[in-house]
A = this chain, B = another copy of it.
C-alpha cells in the first residue's frame, strides 16, 4: 500500500474514529492531534499555542485583510508581522508534506488535502452525518444535552469551514473538493471504514 488518506469531517460524524480504524487496519500511522506535537517538535512553536489556533480561523477579519497584503512564509525574521495563526498554518503545512513523503498514512483535518495537492498518491475523503446521529454522539461523548450538542456542532463546523475556505482554494463540504464523501450515519462506522479501504484498493489497482 502506498496511499495517503486525508479525512475532512463534520463534528460528530465519527470521522476521527473511522480514520483511526483505517490506519489500524492498514498498519499505517495516524495523525489527528498527533500532527500538532509533530509540528511543534519541528517548528519550535509550543504545543499549547498550536492547540489554541488548531483549525480555527484567524481572530479578526480586518486583521486578516491587513495581513493579506503580506506574502506568506513563517520565518519569523523575514515576516515578523505575520499573525501567529498564519505562521502556525505554514509550519503545519510543511510538516504535513514531510509526513506524506515518509510513506502512507491517515491525516485528519488541517487542510491536509490542500497541502498535498501536488502528491499523486493521495485519496481525499470527507465524512459527514445526519444531524440526529451527530447530536446523539456528541451528547454521549461530552455528557451534554441535545441543545448544547447542537450548538457545539454548529460552532465547530463553522470554525472548520472558515479555516478550510480561508487557507485552501476549495470549499469545505462541497462534494467536488474531495475524492470520496460518505454519510457515516447511513453506512455506520464499520461500513464507512470498509468502503474507504475498498476505495484505496480500487485506486491503487488503476
27 residue pairs of the A-B complex, CB under 8 angstroms, read A123-B186, A126-B175, A128-B175, A128-B176, A173-B175, A174-B175, A175-B178, A175-B181, A178-B183, A179-B183, A179-B187, A180-B180, A180-B181, A180-B182, A180-B183, A180-B186, A180-B187, A181-B182, A187-B199, A188-B206, A190-B202, A191-B203, A191-B205, A194-B198, A194-B202, A195-B199, A195-B202
CB under 8 Å from chain B, chain A span 150-206: 173-176, 178-183, 186-188, 190-191, 194-195, 198-199, 202-203, 205-206
The answer to whether A186 touches B173 (Cβ under 8 A) is no
A128 closest partner in B (C-beta): B176
Q: Which of B123, B190, B198, B205 contacts A198 (CB 8 A)?
A: B198
Which 4 pairs from chain A and chain B are nearest by CB? Answer: A191-B202, A181-B181, A175-B181, A179-B183
A172 closest partner in B (C-beta): B175
**Is A10 an interface position by the 8 A CB rule?**
yes
> How many of these chains are in the complex?
2
- For A198, list chain B residues within 8 Å (CB): 194-195, 198
Which interface class (under 10, 10 to 19, 20 to 34, 35 or more) fits A?
20 to 34
Min CB distance A6 to B, Å, is 13
The answer to whether A202 touches B183 (Cβ under 8 A) is no
Please encode chain A, from 108 to 144, with 1 for each CB lying within 8 Å of some chain B CB and 0 for all others. 0000000000000001001010000000000000000
Residues of A within 8 A of B (CB): 10, 123, 126, 128, 173-176, 178-183, 186-188, 190-191, 194-195, 198-199, 202-203, 205-206
